[in-house]
Amino acid sequence: MSTARVLVVDDEPDIRGLVKEILEDEGYAVTTAESAAAAREARRGERPDVVLLDIWMPDLDGISLLREWNERGGLPCPVIMMSGHGTIETAIEATRLGAYDFVEKPISLAKLLLTVERALEASRLRRENEGLRNQFVMPLDPVVTSRAIQALKAQMEKLTAHDAWILVHGERGTDKEALARWLHEKSARREGPFITVAPGSIARDHAARALFGSEQNGAIQYGLIEQANGGTLFLDEVADLDPELQLRLSSAFARRHLIRCGAPDAVPIDLRVIAASSQDLDAAVQAGKFREELYYQLNVVPLQVPSLRERIEDIPELLRYYADFFANRDKLPYRQFPVAVQNRLRNYPWPGNLRELRNLVQRLLILGNAPEVSIDEVELALGTAPVVERPLHGAPLGIDFSLPLREAREEFERTYLLHQLGEAGGSVGKLAKMVGMERTHLYRKLKDLGVDPKSAVRDD
């Protein structure tokens, strides 16, 4: 279990010492500060999880310091005010500025510990809500039927007892982040934060500040790495990191310290890193596109996530799970997937893996009304609905009938879509209406077939 860090700010030595002793006896890591200036310096040195802040201090009162923090990037964490003679007006102002609660002097041991515990729990829930707000909620335990997933689950169970860094390999759409969350929730760091970094979604000009934080004119912004202190940092698609960030990350991980942008000093970090990639990092290292030292830092324990093609036995259970999930979450009518549909989906290649299957189930529940999903609906949703042959201005189909069925079908689809693209003047939007396909699936189909819409427009 990670140790929560508490900053106690009070100008009275006896109170600082008493509170420090009480909290350390309960297992907290405590730093003390005797003034606002010392509190600023302590906050620069390490991001606290809770601040106990006295209202009346000689250099700058607690309300003014609270206002200063609020105006310079927001409060670092829950702040609990301490006062022996506070007023209603003071309480209102502190609450407006974001204070979590008040503890009256003389301090009650039970009240102090309960307030700190509640503040930490509220902070943890807020972080979890922020992290999950835009994410799909997966079951904590992956659906296991296939041997591939059973083997993965067994390996993950062994890893829960260790704090080793992990590099998760797997195709896009295999829900590598869900597995990283599962490992975090089962680890000794479960009470700490789980912070996701997706390098591809961060603008390159702001990536260093987003990851490492910044200091400027007394204002401190804690970066994503520092926010993960005490918990787990998940680096998604780590191969998308540019060379400069790879170097800075490698240096920070090696020293267990980082330097915020614009800061003169390094600050300690204590976290577990789980990285993920759908690319061949070994090849990237050999090609000089990924730093070798960072690769070995992350690849302490490799974890391979199977594609959906490698676990087709799980598809019936996954269909039931997602149908039930979307029916409950989105108030959609529950629909059953008969055996014929299940068999059809077991034979689909699933280039988008679990993400594609999940989206398919949601679409079928939204667009369909019948209690059971039909084969025709599935074919249409997958973009594999049969098409009616039309003469291509007298041109032969150009299909080699000695080919296997799948390759012959691809040849026909390529010829058909090239012709229809010409009819549509190269417009994929018009093409989607003409062939009766959803545009996203059509783009994927064109890409799979090697058809470039821009170069497929006829000159006649």
Best CA proximity match to 281, nearest among 170, 179, 152, 165: 170
Token couple for 253:
């991980």
Contact 408, 399 (CB under 8 A): yes
Token couple for 334:
């529950």
Contact 360, 382 (CB under 8 A): yes
Residue 32: the pLDDT is 94
The reply to whether domains 5-132 and 149-304 share a CATH topology is yes
Token couple for 97:
């500025």
Letter string b/e over residues 22-60, b meaning 16 or more CB atoms within 10 A of that residue's CB: bbeeeebbbbbbbbbebbbebbbebbbbbbbbbbbbeee
What are the CB-based long-range contacts (under 8 Å, 24+) for 390-394?
A: 392/419
Bridge partners, 169 (sequence order): 277, 304
Tell me the whole-structure pTM to 2 decimals.
0.65
Backbone dihedral angles phi then psi of residue 48, each to the nearest 5 degrees: -80, 160
CATH for the stretch 387-460: 1.10.10.60
Residue 103: the pLDDT is 84
Contact 159, 183 (CB under 8 A): yes
Structural fold of domain 5-132: Rossmann fold (3.40.50)
Residues 6+ apart with CB under 8 A from 458: 422
Which CATH superfamily, name and number, covers 149-304? P-loop containing nucleotide triphosphate hydrolases (3.40.50.300)
- Our measurement of the distance from residue 290's CA atom to the centroid of its chain's CA atoms, rounded to an integer in Å, reads 22
Residue 102 to residue 80: CA distance in whole angstroms: 6
Residue 458: the pLDDT is 43
Residue 277 to residue 294: CA distance in whole angstroms: 13
Residue 16 to residue 31: CA distance in whole angstroms: 9
Token couple for 20:
């420090």
Best CA proximity match to 303, nearest among 180, 162, 187: 180
CA distances from 163 to 2, 295, 376 (A): 11, 18, 49
Q: Which class is domain 311-382?
A: mainly alpha
Each residue's pLDDT tens digit, 326-380: 898 888 999 999 999 999 999 999 999 999 999 999 999 998 889 999 999 999 8
First to last CA, the chain: 71
Residue 442: the pLDDT is 79
Half-sphere exposure of 318 (CA within 13 A, CB side): 27
CA distances from 214 to 206, 225, 272 (A): 11, 12, 22
Best CA proximity match to 50, nearest among 1, 115, 108, 109: 115
Residue 143: the pLDDT is 63
Q: Strand 266-268 and strand 257-259: pairing?
A: antiparallel
Contact 166, 303 (CB under 8 A): yes
Residue 134: the pLDDT is 44
> Can you list the residues of the chain whose pLDDT is less than 50?
1, 133-134, 136-137, 140-141, 387-397, 458-460
Name the residue ranges covered by the structural domains of the chain: 5-132, 149-304, 311-382, 387-460
